[in-house]
Amino acid sequence: MKSFLKREIVFAISVCAAALSSFFNPPSPSWIDAIDFRTLAMLFALMGISEGLKASGFFDSIAGVMMKRAKGTKGLSFSLIAIVFLSSMLFTNDVSLLMFVPFSAMLLDKAGCDEDYIIKVVVLETISANLGSMTTPVGNPQNLYICSFFSVGAAEFFSAILPYSLLSAVLIAALAAILLSKDQSVEKDEREVRKMDRPRTVIYLCFLLLALLSVFHVVSWKLLLASEIIALLIIDRSIFRRIDYILLLTFVAFFIFSENIRNAEGIRNLLSEPMKAQPIALSAAVSQVISNVPAAILLSSFAENFRGVLIGTDIGGLGTPIASLASLISLKIYFRRGQGRKGRYMALFLLLNFLLLALLFAFSIIIG
């Protein structure tokens, strides 16, 4: 139990929050009504797609091509950071980090890079995953929820978020150019020779397209869910065992917690006015404490429109490690390194995260 709680601390917190807040709103049918089954179905589908692409060798094939073409560690590092930024748009920020952070550390170790250089790459990859994922509705769970909750159309979504995504790409490229100056030859790795299962990859990429259409209400989420379950039963039942059901239950607990908070008049009054006056600032601030996904679920009910809570929770993924679950993933991966320098990692992580958070928040004020 202790090991489980350490591994699934966010789930434990969400269950405690739902239980304690039930004093404001005891168990009732309203709890069922508060659960956004569309968001849960979309998350299930996307996790299945990500795991299927991973099993098909799609990610390994991309990594192998990158390594084959890299002439030195500087070019490879830039490529890794860029691919994390781009892949997080479609395969979520946590999947991108799970795939590329261990691979990056392994490659840079083989190239003889010192620990400070590896720390810089991993921190920049983490930032890239959090900021790249905000570009699309399927890049991270809070975008998926917000699009569902407010019935956001494609034009509305991209007009709101693309300026921040483009600025983020420029800022990350500038930081990489400043911090990553070392260049050494790269040793080839056996991962580059792994063959991709093309038929399965095509199937999962088709489901990814179907998921994108479902987010914008072009295709029914029920059709997506049913067709993907049938396909998995036929081609790869093992994917069902790899889906993160604890994450789905975490969402259920936060849905109930948010419903209970909405029924607490004092807390409702405390949040409603700041959300009208400074939705981006409040959303980003709350994300630092409870993470941006539960912040989006909690604050959406108090927002006048989707833009403030979308931008606030997306840029609010920067800052503290708990602000984004993806940040905790890369932190855990790096801290497992025997030669890792935890203090150095945290210092650079906090410095760069809060610097970019401040710059993006200032940008939100400038463009109104």
Q: How confident is the model at residue 339 (pLDDT cuts 50, 70, 90)?
A: confident
CA–CA distance, 335 with 284 (Å, rounded to integer): 26
Cα-Cα-Cα-Cα dihedral sign, residues 182, 185, 190, 195: positive
Q: Smallest Cα–Cα separation from 283: which of 247, 291, 141?
A: 291
Q: Is 18 within the bounds of a domain?
A: no
Q: What is the per-residue pLDDT across 97-106, written as a single tens digit (0 to 9) for each?
A: 877 888 788 7
Q: Is 278 within the bounds of a domain?
A: yes
State the residue range of the domain holding 82. Answer: 30-366
For residue 57 the two structure tokens come to: 């060798």
For the entire predicted model, the pTM comes to: 0.79
**Contacts for 32 with CB less than 8 Å, ≥ 6 apart:** none
Q: How confident is the model at residue 184 (pLDDT cuts 50, 70, 90)?
A: low
What share of the chain in percent tops pLDDT 90?
38
CA–CA distance, 175 with 132 (Å, rounded to integer): 15
Q: Is 319 within the bounds of a domain?
A: yes
CA–CA distance, 59 with 40 (Å, rounded to integer): 25
Mean local confidence (pLDDT), 54-70: 76
Where is average pLDDT lowest: 103-112, 280-289, 313-322? 103-112
Q: Is 22 within the bounds of a domain?
A: no
Mean local confidence (pLDDT), 141-166: 93
CA–CA distance, 214 with 104 (Å, rounded to integer): 33
The tally of domains found in the chain comes to 1
pLDDT for 187: 60
Q: Is 251 within the bounds of a domain?
A: yes
Q: Smallest Cα–Cα separation from 108: which of 193, 192, 184?
A: 184
Q: Is 17 within the bounds of a domain?
A: no
Q: Is 212 within the bounds of a domain?
A: yes
> Higher pLDDT residue, 191 or 183?
183
CA–CA distance, 3 with 330 (Å, rounded to integer): 19
Classify residue 235 by burial, with Cβ atoms within 10 Å: 0-12, 13-18, 19+: middle
What share of the chain in percent tops pLDDT 70?
95
Position 354, amino acid = F
CA–CA distance, 42 with 222 (Å, rounded to integer): 9
Q: Is 23 within the bounds of a domain?
A: no
CA–CA distance, 113 with 184 (Å, rounded to integer): 8
